[in-house]
Amino acid sequence: MSYAIIETGGRQFRVSQGDVVRVPNISGDVGSNIEFGKVLCIGGDGAFKLGEGVSGAKVTGTVVSHGRERKIIVFKFKRRKQYKKKQGHRQGYTAVKIDSITV
């Protein structure tokens, strides 16, 4: 199959073999193998499997790196009330290279 949709860290990602995907933090050393447990659907080559059709599907990958995204600024204010609040954070990520998609 040419692509799969996986869920990890509360988000869904469309991945293909050879892709490098930034997913929310996953524990594991650089170079270690990871298996994504929740595969939602698999498609490609004119075929599409969803639900029960992907019960035995596996997506495996290798951890490439760990890092943090650029800073996100959250700014709240209410006009004419002298209320301002500035917050920000940097979300951590793990870059994973997709090795194989098996059905």
The model scores a pTM over 0.75: yes
Residues 6+ apart with CB under 8 A from 7: 13, 38, 40
Any idea which of 10-14, 24-28, 48-52, 92-96 has the lowest mean pLDDT?
A: 48-52
Would you say residue 98 has pLDDT above 80? yes
Residue 39 belongs to what domain range?
A: 3-102
DSSP 27: -
What pLDDT sits at residue 52?
A: 73
> Rounded distance, CA 100 to CA 35, Å?
10
Per-residue pLDDT band at 37 (split at 50, 70, 90):
confident
> Rounded distance, CA 98 to CA 80, Å?
51
Domain count, the chain: 1
> Rounded distance, CA 73 to CA 87, Å?
6
